[in-house]
């Protein structure tokens, strides 16, 4: 049973709770919401409650007493911290993410809207490639355990897992974009209203960088899990019954092998959400990662807050999805909850 579920059990021991699988799912979702709430507090505290006058830091060159007062009013900086938090949270929940503090004062939602689409697409493609790839790699490595393929992939995956994403990205740029081969564009120029799927060439390197960042983790867990499954009684039984090896693998081993790996898959996808920050920066890809770095450089606090929460929310949601999927997929865990 996942560590979370175990803790949940203990924590809610005294409270009468809905039973069974759906009860668990409900509790897990509520826990996720609670986590999100705390995440919002942390982000808010980090940006709004720290010293330094946010209004001055922005207006900078153009600061006049009137504009400072106006901006302070707009940011509710004159109110007590708690009240500021509720203003902010209220706005957030209504879909009003505030106005960017930079020049055009555009609402943050319109600034990041198209970028969310771009980043989501990038992550989806990266996930669509890395998940099957790593499942395949892990399974094959498990099947050919301790043989050449296994050892070779194990080393390669270890190296890839160790490298920071920006290193992988830059090496890709050097190899395929600028210095060794000049086959792919080293930057991903996608115009603001353009759809990323219309620019396949520009997507190759960032997707590749993300795939190389995430695949090692999933593949390794997949391998470990498949090894366990292949050695399990269940599979032994199926073999003894005389089933063809292929059927044993596809029908019995793989689905059971995936179950524990699902949590890691979801976590790796969540990790992608953080990975896009650096990868988008390297390739100048117009997504929320590069927007986030830009906002931090400019000290554009409303945008920093909005994107910080967005990325963290994606992470939390994927975590919740991981736990829920694990429960739903694994019969053993389900029975333990009854």
Partner 1 sequence: MAAYPRWEVVAGRNELVRAEVTRNPSREDQGAMREDELSRIDEEARRRGMSREELLKRAAVAGLVLTGSGGLAQVARAGVAAAAAAPKRGGTFRVGVAGGSSSDIIDGQDIVTNPDQARLMAGFETLVTFDKNFKLAFDGLAEEVSPNKAGNVWTIRVRPGIEFHNGKTLSADDVIFSLRRLVNPKLKLFGGSALSSVNPNALKKMDSRTVRMTLKNPDGTILDALGQYVAGIVPVGYSPNAIGKANPNVGTGPYKLKSFTPGQQSVHDRNPNYWRHGQPYFDQVVIIDFPDDTARVNALLGGQVDAISNIPPAQVAVVNGHSGTKVLESPTAQWTPICMRVDTAPFNDVRVRQAMRLIADREQMVQQGLAGHGHVGNDLYAPFDEAYDHALPQRKQDIAQAKSLLKAAGQDNLTVDLQSTNGALGMNEGAQVFAQQAKAAGVTINVKILDSGAFYGSQYLKWPMSTDFWGTRNYLSQVAAGSLPTSPYNETHWPDTADNKFLTLYKEALRTVDRKKRFAIEHEMMQLEYDHGGYIVWGFSNFLDGYSSKVQGLIQGWKGVMQLNNFGNGYRTFWFG
Partner 2 sequence: MSGAAAAAVSPIVAPKRQRPFVVLLRRAWRLPRTRIGFVLVLLLVGTALIGPIFAPHDPTAFAGAPFAKPSSSTLLGTDNLGRDVLSRFLWGGRSILGLSAAATLIGLVLGVSIGLVAAYSRGLLDDSLMRVMDVILAFPSIVLALVAVSTVGPKLWLIVLVVGFTTMPRVARVTRGASAEVVERDFVQSAEALGEPRAKLLLGEILPNITSTLMVEASLRLTYAIGLIAGLSFLGFGEQPPAADWGLMINENRQGLTVQPWGVLMPVIAIALLTVGTSLIGDGLARASAGIDRRGDE
What does the binding site for partner 2 look like in residue numbers (CB under 8 A)? 3, 7, 10-11, 35-36, 38-39, 42-43, 46-47, 50, 52, 155, 158-159, 161-167, 170-171, 173-174, 178-179, 270-271, 273-275, 277-278, 281, 292-293, 295-297, 299, 301, 304-305, 308, 311-312, 315-316, 319
- Cα–Cα dist 41/319, whole Å: 19
- Cα–Cα dist 88/232, whole Å: 53
Task: Please report, to the nearest 10 degrees, the dihedral formed by the alpha carbons of residues 54, 55, 61, 66 taken in order.
Answer: -170
Closer to partner 2 by CB, 42 or 128: give it. Answer: 42
* Residues whose CB falls within 8 Å of the CB of residue 240, separated by 6 or more in sequence, listed in order: none
Among 35, 47, 84, 102, binds partner 1 (CB under 8 A): 102
Among 58, 85, 88, 292, binds partner 1 (CB under 8 A): 58
- Cα–Cα dist 197/122, whole Å: 9
Among 2, 298, 313, 328, binds partner 1 (CB under 8 A): 298
The alpha carbon dihedral of 32, 33, 36, 41 has a sign of: negative
Which residues partner with 99 through β-bridges?
A: 107
Q: Which does 56 bind (CB under 5 to 8 A by kind): partner 1, partner 2, none?
A: partner 1
Q: Which two tokens stand for residue 176?
A: 């395929």
- Cα–Cα dist 118/124, whole Å: 10
- Cα–Cα dist 319/264, whole Å: 9
Residue 78: CB minimum distance to partner 1, A = 17
Q: Which does 63 bind (CB under 5 to 8 A by kind): partner 1, partner 2, none?
A: partner 1
Q: Which does 293 bind (CB under 5 to 8 A by kind): partner 2, partner 1, none?
A: partner 2
Q: Which two tokens stand for residue 331?
A: 């019969």
Among 21, 25, 53, 91, binds partner 1 (CB under 8 A): 53
Contacts with partner 1 by CB under 8 A lie at 53, 56-58, 60-64, 66, 100, 102-104, 106, 111, 177-178, 185-187, 189, 191-193, 284, 286, 294, 297-300, 303
């Amino acid at each position: 049973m996942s560590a979370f579920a175990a803790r949940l059990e203990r924590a809610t021991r005294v409270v009468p709770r809905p039973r069974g699988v759906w009860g668990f799912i409900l509790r897990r979702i509520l826990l996720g919401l609670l986590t999100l709430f705390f995440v919002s507090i942390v982000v808010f505290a980090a940006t709004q409650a720290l010293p330094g006058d946010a209004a001055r830091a922005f207006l900078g060159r153009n600061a006049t007493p009137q504009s400072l007062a106006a901006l302070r009013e707009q940011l509710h900086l004159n109110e007590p911290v708690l009240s500021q938090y509720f203003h902010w949270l209220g706005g957030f929940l209504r879909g009003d993410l505030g106005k960017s503090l930079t020049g055009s004062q555009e609402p943050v939602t319109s600034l990041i809207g198209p970028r969310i689409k771009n980043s989501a697409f990038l992550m989806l493609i990266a996930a669509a490639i890395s998940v099957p790839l790593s499942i395949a790699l892990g399974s094959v490595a498990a099947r050919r355990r301790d043989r050449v393929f296994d050892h070779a992939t194990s080393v390669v995956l270890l190296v890839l897992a160790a490298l920071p994403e920006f290193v992988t990205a830059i090496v890709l740029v050097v190899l395929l974009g600028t210095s060794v081969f000049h086959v792919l564009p080293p930057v991903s120029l996608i115009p603001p209203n353009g759809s990323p799927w219309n620019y396949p060439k520009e997507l190759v390197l960032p997707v590749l960088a993300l795939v190389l960042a995430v695949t090692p983790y999933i593949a390794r867990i997949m391998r470990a899990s498949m090894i366990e499954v292949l050695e399990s009684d269940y599979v032994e039984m199926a073999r003894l019954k005389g089933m063809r090896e292929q059927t044993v693998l596809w029908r019995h081993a793989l689905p059971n092998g995936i179950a524990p790996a699902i949590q890691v898959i979801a976590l790796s996808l969540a990790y992608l959400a953080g990975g896009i920050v650096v990868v988008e920066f390297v390739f100048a890809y117009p997504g929320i990662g590069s927007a986030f770095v830009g906002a931090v450089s400019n000290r554009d606090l409303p945008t920093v807050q909005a994107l910080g929460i967005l990325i963290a929310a994606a992470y939390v949601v994927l975590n919740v999805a991981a736990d829920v999927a694990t429960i739903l997929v694994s019969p053993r865990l389900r029975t333990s909850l009854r």
